[in-house]
Structure 1
Amino acid sequence: MRAALIRKILFFLVILAIVVPVLFPFLWMLTSSFKTQVDIVAWPPRLVFSPTLQNYERVFREQNFLKYFTNSSIIGISAVSLSLLMGLPAAYSIARYKQKRLSMFILIARLMPGISFLMPWYIIFSRLKLMDSYIALILSHMLITLPIIVWIMSSYFETIPIEMEESAMVDGATRQRAFLSVVLPIAGPGIVTSVTLAFIFSWNNFMFSQVLSMERTRTLPIAIYNFVSYAEVDWGAVMAAAVAIMAPAIILTMIFQKYVVKGLTMGAVKG
């Protein structure tokens, strides 16, 4: 009895040691978004304070936050949709025809720092007069979303028995029909996982928008940067903007949490 109690206590201590470092920055950011500048920079930190909504008012009034939100939504949804259209057939081909070299090439493209693509993108889009356009940002964000979708889905398609497709093809379906009618419905959790992760990475991307966009197509992460000046940093507004930017990603993850977990563990084979 005592040994079981000790194991339970140790288990909770380990969980606490893992959770606290992860949640502490987020909780600090959340509480700071309701503090004044004086309370934020106070030392020692003030755990008891009078909450205020002035930071959120400045974010939504002084910065065109809804416009940035719309831009991020258009760019993120478009980039993920185009990446799905291209990435699902590519991932299926990699899985079924064992194209490991192509898979590694796509992974390398994902691992390369985004800044290495900025100069070529800038030259190309400026020559084509596409700077500050949705096309430029959507194509640049596909460098993020497409490899994620291909990498996750190629591993997922490998878990689906090929006999299911062969059975459909014996009944007269083409390989394309078997892919659309048999494979994709089974791969639903994997698709939800890849879409969720790809959209979050696109949503949070700062660098491409900072270089390739101007006032018309700037995205949400720029809203935070606008509160940083040479003279000072408006920490309250920065924290409020960060919370507002993170909220859609957190909500999306919570809604599809079950599918994301199932997709990442590759447990979608149905008998």
Structure 2
Amino acid sequence: MATTSRFDQKAQRRSPIFYIVVLLILAIYLFPFYWMIASSLKTQIDNNAFPPLFVFTPTLANYANVFADNPFALYLTNSIIVGIGSTVLGLVFGLPAAYGIARFNQKKLALAVLLARIAPGISYLVPWFIIFSTFNMIGSYTGIILSHLTVGLPLTIWIMIGFFEDIPKELEDAALIDGASRYGIFFRIALPLVVPGIATASILSFIQSWNTFMYSVVLSDSATRTLPVAVFGFLSYGGFDWGSLTAAATVVTAPVMILAILIQRYIVGGLAAGGVKS
């Protein structure tokens, strides 16, 4: 109670300048999203007007054109298949890897995972392309899902290491004394205790896969094209149809934004739980 009271008093003592700074930062980050949505509701003439129009008559024609001229249902399905596939595979391989790193204190291996996470994605693109070309996997769901593991797998491992490190070793020692195997401990004790971390890693991995463009644009074809690649198709050398382009971008961005807003407390709570050491 005393701690809560001190936090309340500190919040009350904040000057108006603090809130002004917060509003300015929010405005800087939110303005691109506002401009994207506003442009998607403008005609081509309004989008090309100078100075820019902030008051205009909205229209849904751009969205109608996007869905009429492009198989966005197919692109949406492809993004969902690739996102779920890469997320599931990331958990299948990432959870045991994170458990092994955490339980056997493999600091160097953890550092290698971190380096793989921060390495430029384009450094993996050429090897992926050569491998998939050799096995005729260009344009297949399998190839795209495996390439997206480059993004999702290190993220899953790095998040889950903290959760597995928080599990008391005494629980596992007691299970070993009772005759449980390492596999039994992992599946029956460790995994049930890190469900919040699994949910957090799954959500963030899916979002990363949903937004991944580089691997999809090179390794996909017309049948497996994902939503970010579809938006790229609206760019041309002859000129930009800003209305259709921003409408397509809004269609791609909206599901992830809505998902992030709905589950933000679970993501923050899960990351916070994984960051607290016993």
Q: 2:263 aligns with which of 251, 256, 262?
A: 256
2:261 alignment partner AA: M
Partner residue of 2:105? 98
Which aligned pairs between 1:110-259 and structure 2 lie closer than 5 A? 110-259=117-266
Tell me what 1:25 maps to: 32
| Alignment match, 1:86 | 93
Shift of 1:4: 8.7
Q: Residue 17 of structure 2 aligns with which residue?
A: 10
Q: Which amino acid is the alignment partner of residue 214 of structure 2?
A: M
Per-residue deviation at 1:16? 0.9
Distance in 1 separating the partners of 2:12 and 2:44: 45
Task: Kindly state the Cα deviation for residue 21 of structure 1 after the two structures are TM-superposed.
Answer: 1.1
Count of equivalent residues: 269
| The 10-residue stretch of structure 1 (73-82 or 250-259) with the greater mean CA deviation from structure 2 | 250-259
Whole-angstrom CA distance in 1 between matches of 2:21 and 2:240: 37
TM-score, scaled relative to structure 2: 0.90
TM-score, length-scaled by structure 1:
0.92
Q: For residue 265 of structure 1, give the secondary structure of its aligned residue in structure 2.
A: helix
Listed one character per residue, the Cα deviations across residues 191-219 of structure 1 (whole Å, up to 9, x for unaligned) are 11111111111111111111111111111
Equivalent residue letter for 1:128: F
Cα separation, 1, equivalents of 2:152 and 2:130: 22
Query: What is aligned with 2:48?
Result: 41
Q: Which moved more, 1:254-263 or 1:225-234?
A: 254-263
Q: CA RMSD in A?
A: 2.1
Q: Which moved more, 1:258-267 or 1:235-244?
A: 258-267
Q: Which runs of 5+ in 1 are unaligned?
A: none
Structure 2, unaligned runs of 5 or more: 1-9
Q: 1:67 aligns with which of 74, 81, 86?
A: 74
Q: Percent identity?
A: 50
